[in-house]
Amino acid sequence: MRKRIRLLIALLSVFVLFAAACGDDDDSSDSTDETDETDATDTAAEGEGSIWVLLPDSATSDRWEKDDRRFFKEGFEAAGLAEGDDFTIVNAEGSGETQIGQAEQAIGDGASVIVLTSNDSGSGAAIIDIAREAGVGVVEYDRFNTEGSAGGDIYVSFDNVEVGATMAEVATPVIDELDADPKQVVMLNGGETDNNAFLFRDGYNATVEEKVSAGEWELVDDQFVPEWDNQAAQDLMDQILVAAENNVDAIFAANDGLAGGVIASLENAGLDPLEIPITGQDATQAGIQNVLLGVQTMTVYKPIKLEAAAAVDAALALRAGEDVTALSGEFVFIGIDADGKPTDSPEGEGVVPYMALTPIGVTADNVADTVIADGFRTVEEICTGDVAETDFCQENA
């Protein structure tokens, strides 16, 4: 009898332990599932999750590290966000594959918004689609991505056609004063994988076509520089000069880096860039110095602080689940379609809302009133080497 009682007690104990273990497993499973589901579905809606800024490189233009990074950091910190916890800024250093990996890392880290400046439209489109599938908001920053992407939630940039038009507006009077008749003009555009390169070209090409049709200018060459590579720009310009037997009077270079390659090519060919109008863009330190030295006619200043501030506002609105098109600031709302062409309205089938800012042409005459007055550049960083001997530096240093 005692043996039967002991056996019964033992069996009951095993049953109780087994039942308790099963109950713990079920409770743990339910709790984990509920937590995971809450994290996955409520992060963005409750204004949670981190914001990741994906920058493209530091070689084609120094703006990404010297300017955009610091303005994003200032903007997010002013909004009460902590770097490393609430926001992260990374640079792909020219690799689309690296940037895709950074986007995947952001999503794995629980990001609710990605601010993307892509290396190229193809990898950019892939990142947008990956983010969309994960329910992560996307701000397309400065560069718009085509290549079949579903499109981001909003595009923040300058009016890029107007950027090119500003180059033409400033350079045309200088070109028209040259003795050559007709003037021999070159267009050296940005990389074909960047939609902006086509928009910049649209802006200055409108003037080039008008002048060519009037018989005042002749178009010597029209080239896109692979991936905005500055050395490639110099090599292309070398080839153009050889083919044209150095008969070139003016160059529309799409940014300051390309302009630097053009200047080096002209000097190597024995030509004087002081006598050949050259455009640029970004108001980089080197670009402004070349403008003051007279070897570059102008640059386009895009107040990057305003651009970054608009992108910060857009990212915060997306993070909070708010309507980004209700934002206001120093921009106008237009739209951009799947082919990368601006539209008059931010609404419509396949149209992404576009916060468009206004660019400013800069010459030696208004450096002080633009990039210096805004604190975008300082006299100290510009007035070095030979530039220190210029009239501007002598008057302002």
The Cα–Cα gap between 313 and 129 comes to 22
pLDDT tens, 293-312? 999 999 999 999 999 999 99
Compute the average pLDDT of residues 18-32.
Answer: 39
% of the chain residues with pLDDT over 70: 88
Please state whether beta strands 332-336 and 352-357 pair in parallel, antiparallel, or not at all (unpaired). antiparallel
Which pLDDT belongs to residue 11?
Answer: 40
* Within this chain, domains 50-159+304-357 and 161-302+362-396 share the same CATH topology: yes
Phi-psi label, residue 186: left if phi above 0, alpha if psi -120 to 50, beta otherwise: beta
pLDDT tens, 234-267? 999 999 999 999 999 999 999 999 999 999 999 9
142 phi and psi, to 5 degrees? Answer: 70, -40
**Quick one: which of 108, 131, 109, 135 has its CA closest to 118?**
131
The Cα–Cα gap between 302 and 252 comes to 17
The Cα–Cα gap between 96 and 73 comes to 23
Q: What is the CATH number of domain 161-302+362-396?
A: 3.40.50.2300
For the cut 50, the answer to whether the pLDDT of residue 14 exceeds it is: no
For the cut 90, the answer to whether the pLDDT of residue 163 exceeds it is: yes
pLDDT tens, 118-148? 999 999 999 999 999 999 999 999 999 987 6
Lowest-pLDDT choice from 29-33, 282-286, 320-324: 29-33
For the cut 70, the answer to whether the pLDDT of residue 19 exceeds it is: no
Phi-psi label, residue 114: left if phi above 0, alpha if psi -120 to 50, beta otherwise: beta
Confidence class for position 60, pLDDT limits 50, 70, 90: confident
- Amino acid identity, residue 43? T
- The mean pLDDT of the chain is 89
DSSP conformational letter for 241: H
For the cut 70, the answer to whether the pLDDT of residue 10 exceeds it is: no
The Cα–Cα gap between 33 and 22 comes to 16
Could you state, in order of their start, the residue ranges of all structural domains in the chain?
50-159+304-357, 161-302+362-396
**Quick one: which of 370, 320, 324 has its CA closest to 49?**
320
For the cut 70, the answer to whether the pLDDT of residue 15 exceeds it is: no
pLDDT tens, 312-357? 999 999 999 999 999 999 999 999 998 899 999 999 888 999 999 9
Confidence class for position 184, pLDDT limits 50, 70, 90: very high
Which pLDDT belongs to residue 46?
Answer: 54
Lowest-pLDDT choice from 23-32, 168-177, 203-212: 23-32
For the cut 80, the answer to whether the pLDDT of residue 214 exceeds it is: yes
Which pLDDT belongs to residue 247?
Answer: 98
Structural contact between residues 170 and 361, judged by C-beta atoms closer than 8 angstroms:
yes
DSSP conformational letter for 83: B
Total-model pTM: 0.81
Helix 160-176 to helix 195-213 angle (10° resolution) is: 30
Which pLDDT belongs to residue 27?
Answer: 40
Homologous superfamily assigned to 50-159+304-357: Response regulator (3.40.50.2300)
Which pLDDT belongs to residue 171?
Answer: 98
Which pLDDT belongs to residue 199?
Answer: 96
For the cut 80, the answer to whether the pLDDT of residue 45 exceeds it is: no
- 3-state secondary structure at position 6: helix
